[in-house]
């Protein structure tokens, strides 16, 4: 009943419903953060899947003997060259290794001072069809010092973790919706009690249940929309400032918070869906209460 313009019940003057928009705003604030979290995690999982997938790293531990190290490297490269399904491979140079280690060891560290392992970055043509077990066995048979670091296992765990966090965020969203419904139900019940006399008169005058429920539903919708907009106004800047701070760190591991049209539409839909949720909850609450009258 969206068409009720004039209200026979003074619901807009109810003191008990004045706090409802703020409770809903708080819920929406949390919902915005949860949804933002879900979007970011989704994007991150996707990016990691594409970025690191399809590669593995072969590591050859350094021995005391530099000549043996050189031999080992050659042996490994031979195995890699003989293996089918490998698109490209690259021995990571010592300068680059030093650059990677610099933040931990400092620039003073000399390459010669450290027994650095050799790293070979291997790109796979088709990750799914690559015979990882056979390749690993072959490699370790020829060079016992060589180990294969498969990113897939590590990545899979990471993606699983992300999905678990996403599920938790979804559960939080469901709880937020339930809490919002509960708040609306209690506010509506209070309204029913406060206006018991007026409702009874309307009922006896011949008002359909839907007429009375419509007045509560209309009011709840307005309050819900109000709360939704307040919550969104507070939640979006919070989310965006987190994104801005993350952006300024320029670390590839941190999530990207640039939203597309779909994401913006999703946020815009929050106040509307909260308003709808409040409206239908109030409506069904009133209808259930009125059914107890003759």
Q: Does 129 bind another protein (CB under 8 A)?
A: no
Q: What is the CA radius of gyration of the chain?
A: 31
Helix (H) or strand (E) holding 148: strand 146-150
Task: Candidates 84-92, 136-144, 197-205, 216-224: pick the segment binding another protein (CB under 8 A).
Answer: 197-205
Minimum CB distance to another protein, residue 235 (Å): 36
C-beta of residue 274 within 8 angstroms of C-beta of residue 180: yes
Count the residues in the chain.
294
- List Cα–Cα distances, 83 to 61, 72, 91, 124, 148, in angstroms: 21, 17, 16, 11, 14
Nearest alpha-carbon partner for 282 in 175, 204, 180: 180
- List Cα–Cα distances, 58 to 31, 44, 86, in angstroms: 44, 26, 13
Minimum CB distance to another protein, residue 205 (Å): 5
Site for another protein in 274-293 (CB under 8 A): 291
Q: Which of 141, 167, 204, 268 binds another protein (CB under 8 A)?
A: 204
* Binding residue count for another protein, defined by CB under 8 A: 19
DSSP of 205-258: HT--HHHHHHHHHHHHHHHHHHHHHHHHHHHHHHHHHHHHHHHHHT-TTSPP--
Q: Does 2 bind another protein (CB under 8 A)?
A: no
Binding characters for another protein, 235-274, by CB under 8 A (x = yes): ----------------------------------------
Q: Does 217 bind another protein (CB under 8 A)?
A: no
C-beta of residue 11 within 8 angstroms of C-beta of residue 221: no
Minimum CB distance to another protein, residue 226 (Å): 22
Site for another protein in 10-39 (CB under 8 A): 10, 13
Q: Does 202 bind another protein (CB under 8 A)?
A: yes
Q: Which of 64, 110, 126, 197 binds another protein (CB under 8 A)?
A: 197
Nearer to another protein, 214 or 255 (CB): 214
Q: Does 78 bind another protein (CB under 8 A)?
A: no
For the chain, the helix, strand and coil percentages under 3-state DSSP, each to the nearest 5: 70, 10, 20
Minimum CB distance to another protein, residue 220 (Å): 19
Nearest alpha-carbon partner for 122 in 151, 96, 99, 94: 151
Task: Candidates 114-122, 171-179, 200-208, 240-248: pick the segment binding another protein (CB under 8 A).
Answer: 200-208
> Measured between alpha carbons, how far is 19 from 183 in angstroms, rounded to an integer?
10
Contact residues: another protein, CB under 8 A:
6, 8, 10, 13, 197-198, 200-209, 211, 291, 294
């Amino acid at each position: 009943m969206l068409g009720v313009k004039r209200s026979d019940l003074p619901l807009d003057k109810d003191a008990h419903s004045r706090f409802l928009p703020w409770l809903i705003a708080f819920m929406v604030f949390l919902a915005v953060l949860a949804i933002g979290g879900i979007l970011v995690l989704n994007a991150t999982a996707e990016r990691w899947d594409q970025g690191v997938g399809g590669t593995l790293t072969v590591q050859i531990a350094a021995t005391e003997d530099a000549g043996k190290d050189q031999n080992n490297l050659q042996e490994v490269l031979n195995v890699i060259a003989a293996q089918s399904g490998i698109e490209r491979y690259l021995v990571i140079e010592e300068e680059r290794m030093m650059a990677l280690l610099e933040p931990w060891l400092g620039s003073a560290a000399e390459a010669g001072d450290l027994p650095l392992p050799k790293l070979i970055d291997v790109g796979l043509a088709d990750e799914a069809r690559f015979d990882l077990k056979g390749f690993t066995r072959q490699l370790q048979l020829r060079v016992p010092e060589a180990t294969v670091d498969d990113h897939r296992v590590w990545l899979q765990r990471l993606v699983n973790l992300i999905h678990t966090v996403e599920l938790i965020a979804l559960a939080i969203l469901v709880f937020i919706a339930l809490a919002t419904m509960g708040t609306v139900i209690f506010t509506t019940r209070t309204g029913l009690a406060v206006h018991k006399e007026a409702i009874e008169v309307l009922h006896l005058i011949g008002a359909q249940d839907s007429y009375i429920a419509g007045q509560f539903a209309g009011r709840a919708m307005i309050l819900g929309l109000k709360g939704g907009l307040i919550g969104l106004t507070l939640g979006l800047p919070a989310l965006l400032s987190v994104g801005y701070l993350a952006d300024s760190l320029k670390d590839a591991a941190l999530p990207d918070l640039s939203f597309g049209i779909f994401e913006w539409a999703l946020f815009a839909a929050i106040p509307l869906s909260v308003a709808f949720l409040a409206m239908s909850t109030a409506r069904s609450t009133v209808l259930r209460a009125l059914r107890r009258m003759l």
